[in-house]
Amino acid sequence: MAKEKTVFTCTECGGTSPRWLGKCPACEAWNTLVETVAESSSGAARNRFAPLAGSAAVAVLADIEAAEVARTPTGIDELDRVLGGGIVEGGVVLIGGDPGIGKSTLLLQALDGLQRAQVPTLYVTGEESGAQVALRSRRLGLDHSQVKVLAEIQLEKILATLASSQPAVAVIDSIQTVYSDQLTSAPGSVAQVRECAAHLTRAAKAGGTTVVLVGHVTKEGALAGPRVLEHMVDTVLYFEGDTHSSFRLVRAIKNRFGAVNEIGVFAMTERGLKGVANPSAIFLSQHSEPVPGSCVLVTLEGTRPMLVEIQALVDSGGPSPRRLSVGLERDRLAMLLAVLHRHAGVACMDQDVFVNAVGGVRISEPAADLAVMLAITSSLRGRALPKGFLAFGEVGLAGEVRPAPRGQERLREAAKLGFSVAVVPRANAPKKGSRELEGLTIHPVERIEEAMEVVRGLA
């Protein structure tokens, strides 16, 4: 292929410059210029960032036939759940996560499942040799796997193979190792990642191939070139969970073909990742007796309720006490501490406060507020919450306890798992008269003070 000229394009306004500049000459934004291949006169390159359908005549919306996309299940139920039912023809999936978390393992298992169902697959490995991939497949017990493997990192060769072998699904492991010789910047740079992903996306749409791009997360916790890749692809999945526990979560943070925030739960075993079909109780630690600083909440991840234990440790701090949270937002923690002080008279000003969601799960919904506050108070006072206790609900700056979405479902899950006492927002409690749900006693509250009062009464 002839070497094309490269230019520097602004990721904000699309302006170009023949050389790299710190500031975009058009919109004056800083550090937004990335190297791209200059648009060819044919105009084909202009389309590079138009990932979806090609051009069509203007039509009235009601006249356009709404086609339900066909999905091919991978055979791994938890993966299909986050994908929205399976892979979609021509769909592009970005799957990110820390090194060693299990991206290659999961995808190799998925490809093998698809190949067994007579779906032609291609696994492009840029990080490991074919022999290493083979070693992993033996370890996974996929001895006679018919998955096709290509050890290649040059974009043009990968594109040529996609065009000639026409697989239904291709995995690029990883996008950061792929480079195009049209660009002078180094493999793994934002320019390379963006350009290569754009080409692969176009190839996916053109050939009807599902392309799965594996992306490594940088130390700061972002995919290299995150913004550009996320808007280019149809589905973005992230691996979560700490590498020390055997559980892995795969979360859909964007999905044009399914629900976002849906999660799949896996356990890493000696023979690869196994789906955990009923994960609601895996994020509870086992205390034989209740301990101070621990409170269970029911969180809704996607469509599934899960019980997660929140642990807090409040300990006397130095002149500038620390606030640290794992799996929960730190800014929110600071806010909750202020609300605790103002509305419930619980002061942690001179104390270090550590909060942790057990099992490496990340909780983004505010329904965790009440449990976090009760865990902190419990640790500060050195008094454990009762056995079988749980709480959920968002707490506002005025000290009000706001309802969580789909409260009934959360309560039913807790009752199913044998919890006996719940403090929940009033709007989430069952209608008057029935404060009991299969052995679970429900205490509805409207304010944080009220929640504290109820807890004191239970002890």
DSSP structural state of residue 446? S
Residue 153 CA to residue 354 CA, distance in Å, equals 44
How many residues would you count in the chain? Answer: 459
Tokens of 142: 């996929």
Q: What is the DSSP secondary-structure string of 4-53? A: PPEEEEETTT--EESS--SB-TTT--BS-EEEEEPPPTTSTGGGGG--S-
Q: Which does 97 bind (CB under 5 to 8 A by kind): Mg ion, ligand TYD, none?
A: ligand TYD
Q: Is 268 in the site for ligand TYD (CB under 6 A)?
A: yes
- Is 316 annotated among the ligand-binding residues? no
How far is the C-alpha of 213 from the C-alpha of 238, rounded, in Å?
12
Q: Which amino acid is at 117?
A: A
Least Å from the CB of residue 123 to ligand TYD: 12
Q: Which is nearer to ligand TYD, 246 or 441 (CB)?
A: 246
Q: Find the shortest distance in angstroms from Cβ 175 to ligand TYD.
A: 13
What is the Cα 177 distance to its own chain's centre? 22
How many chain residues touch ligand TYD (CB under 6 A)?
15
The interface region with ligand TYD, picked from 61-69, 199-207, 263-271, 330-338 by CB under 6 A, is: 263-271
Q: Considering all CA atoms of the chain, what is the largest pairwise distance in Å, rounded to the nearest integer?
A: 78
Q: Minimum CB separation from Mg ion for residue 151, in Å?
A: 13
Residues 272-301 that bind ligand TYD (CB under 6 A): 272
Retrieve residue 287's tokens: 């205390």
Q: Binding segment for ligand TYD among 76-84, 133-141, 182-190, 299-307 (CB under 6 A)?
A: 133-141
Number of H helices, E strands in the chain: 10, 24
Q: Which does 46 bind (CB under 5 to 8 A by kind): Mg ion, ligand TYD, none?
A: none
Residue 157 marked in a binding site: no
How many CB atoms are located within 10 Å of the residue 153 CB? 18
SS3 373: helix
Q: Which of residues 85-114 bind Mg ion (CB under 5 A)?
A: 104
97 labelled ligand-binding: yes
Positive or negative: CA dihedral 411, 81, 249, 96: negative
Find the binder of ligand TYD among 84, 90, 96, 102 (CB under 6 A): 102
The yes or no reply on residue 130 touching ligand TYD (CB under 6 A) is no
98 annotated binding-site participant: yes
Q: Which is nearer to Mg ion, 153 or 340 (CB)?
A: 153
Nearer to Mg ion by Cβ, of 104 and 180: the residue is 104
Please name the residues in contact with 282: beta carbons below 8 A apart, sequence gap of 6 or more. 247, 265, 276, 359
> Using CB under 6 A as the criterion, which residues of the chain lie in contact with ligand TYD when the complex forms?
97, 99-105, 136, 139-140, 268, 270-272
> Using CB under 5 A as the criterion, which residues of the chain lie in contact with Mg ion when the complex forms?
104
